[in-house]
Structure 1
C-alpha cells in the first residue's frame, strides 16, 4: 500500500506544476503526426498521459502464467527539447497449481532530449535515458532487486517526401528504437528452497530493439488525397509494432536467444486523445504462451490543458530575446 501512495503522490506532484512557457507538444514533424505507440516509444518529447494501458497475455514460463498488466505513464516537458516521464505497472500472475500473486513492478523513469526534427523529410530523433528503479516493486511479480539503466535512441520517418507520383504510399511512416539495458548488479543471489544453499544468477546486458510500420489515414486525407471517406476512417492509423530483446553480455545463465512480440493493431486519433488496441503475438515459445491483447487510452495534455500542465516548465524560446 505504501508503494501505491508513493506512485500516486509522484503523479499528483508532477501534474500540479504550473509551467512558465508554451510550445506545441505533439509529435508533429512537418505535415507528419506520429501517434503515441503502445509498445515502442514515439520519437518526440511531449506533454501526455497514458492511462490506462491494459494488457493480457501468457508468459513464456513453463508452465505459462496468465499475466494481467495495468499501467500508467505521465510525460512532462521541462523545456521545448527536454522532458521527463514516470510510469508504473500493476501486475497479476495466475500460474496453474500456484496461488495468484499481484503487485507493482519497479518504478520507471525516463529523461528525454529531442535531438532533431526535420520538417522537410518528416524525420525526428530523440535520446532517452530510461531507469527502472530496483526494489521499488514486488519480487512476487518479478520486479528486480537491482536498478537497470537503458540508454536509448528513438527515431521516426514519414514518407511524405517521396515523389508525388507514388501517391498513397506517402502516407506510410516508420518508427524505431534501440536501447542497451545495463543491470546495476552483475548477479543476483538467492537461496535454494530445497537445500538452503545460496545460488548466484548472472544478470545479462540486453539489447532492446524494435519499431513500427504505420499508415496514417489523417495524413492521406490532408497531404495526399481526400477520398471522401467517413470521418471515423480518416482518423485511423493501422499499425504493426515489433519489440525484441537479445541478451548480449553476461549471458552464462540467460543464453543469447532473442525473445519478443509482433503487435498488429489500430489507433484512433481524436482531437484531444487517442485510443489504440493491438494483438500481442509472441515470436517463439520463450516469448509467450499464446496471442494476447493490449489496449491504451492516451491523452494529449497540451490540448486538454494548454495554459497549465500542457506547456513546458521553461520557455526557452524567450531566452536571448530582447524586451
Structure 2
C-alpha cells in the first residue's frame, strides 16, 4: 500500500475500511417517517444498536490494485434520549495478485452524536457530533496511521411526506439523509528516515497529512410508509418491508494536500434493505467513481440489530433515562412493528 493511499484512508476515517466503522445508523423514527440504518452513510439519529458483521469486498485504488476484504462491527449506545456514543473497528485483508498480502485491524473509531432537532410534522431530523479515529490502535500494514483523525460532523434526514402534491402522492415515500464532516489529522505532517549518506547524514522523507471533507447522502423509498400513510397497494408483508436505496460517500481533500494524487474519491452504492421487527439485513453494490476509488464493482452486506427492541428494559435503554429528543411541537409516538 502506497504512502499516499495510507494518508488518504486515515484522514477519511471510516472510508479506510470501505464503510467499516461508521456505517450503522439508528432505529430512527421522526413522526411517521422511519429512516433505516444505512450501510455507507451514517444516519442522523441516536439509538441502541449493533452492526455485526458488516462485510465489504472491493479491488481498491492502490497501484497495483489489491483485493480488499473488510469485516467490521459497531456498537452504539444512548447515554440520554438524544445523546449517544458508538465504537467500532474493522479487520482488513489485502491481497495483491502475484504480490505480498497483509492483514490486520484498522484503527479504533468512536463517535459522539447529539440529536438536537427533531420535527415530526416536517419529518426532519438533525444531529451533530465528533468522530475520532484513534492512531496507533491498528496495524500499519493495512493502512492504520499513528496519528488521530478528528472529524466534526453534521447529519440530517428529511422525508418527502410534506413536499409533494396529491398528484404525486406516491413520491411521499421517498426520504433522504446526508452528512458533512471535516477530517483533521492531529499530525499535519509525518517525517520518516528515508536513508543515510555518510557525507550528508540522514535523509528525511516528509509527507503532508491532508484535511478532508467527508460527505455523502442516501435516497431511499419506504414501501411501509407508502402503505401506512399514502395508499395501501396490497403488498405482502415481506415486500412491504423492503427499502430500495442508493447511497453515495465521498472524501475531498481541502487543505495541507500535496499537488498530485489527491482528488475526490468515493463510491455509489445501489442496494436494498429488509427491515424486520428486531433486525435488518442490507446488501449493496459498491461502484467506484474513479480509478483512485477502486477497480471493478464490489459488494457490501450488513446484519444490523435493534437493541432497543430486543432488550427494551436493559441494554436497549438510555444510560440516563429522560425525555424524548428535542422536538418542534410535541413528541409523537409511532408504531412500526418492532419500532419505538
TM normalised by structure 2 equals: 0.84
Structure-2 residue corresponding to 1:53: 54
CA distance in 2, matches of 1:161, 1:194: 67
Q: State the 4+ residue runs in structure 1 displaced beyond 6 angstroms.
A: 193-196
Q: CA deviation at 1:96?
A: 2.5
SS in 1 for 2:238: helix
| Cα RMSD after superposing both structures | 1.6
Asked if residue 302 in structure 1 is aligned to residue 303 in structure 2, the reply is: no
Residue among 284, 289, 295 paired with 2:295? 289
Q: CA deviation at 1:255?
A: 5.2
CA distance in 1, matches of 2:195, 2:38: 42
Asked if residue 314 in structure 1 is aligned to residue 320 in structure 2, the reply is: yes
Q: Give unmatched runs, 5+ long, in structure 1.
A: 1-24, 319-323
CA distance in 2, matches of 1:274, 1:223: 22
After TM superposition, the structure 1 = structure 2 runs for residues 1-323 of structure 1, keeping only pairs within 5 Å, are: 26-162=27-163, 163-192=165-194, 197-252=203-258, 256-317=262-323
8 Å CA contact 1:267–1:277 kept in 2: the answer is yes
8 Å CA contact 2:57–2:70 kept in 1: the answer is yes
CA distance in 1, matches of 2:97, 2:160: 48
Q: CA deviation at 1:167?
A: 1.4
CA distance in 2, matches of 1:37, 1:152: 16
SS in 2 for 1:226: coil
8 Å CA contact 2:27–2:37 kept in 1: the answer is no
State the Cα deviation string for residues 93-140 of structure 1 (Å, max 9, x = none): 001232221000000000000011100010000112000000000000
CA distance in 2, matches of 1:130, 1:290: 30
SS in 1 for 2:76: strand
Structure-1 residue corresponding to 2:4: none
Count of aligned pairs: 294
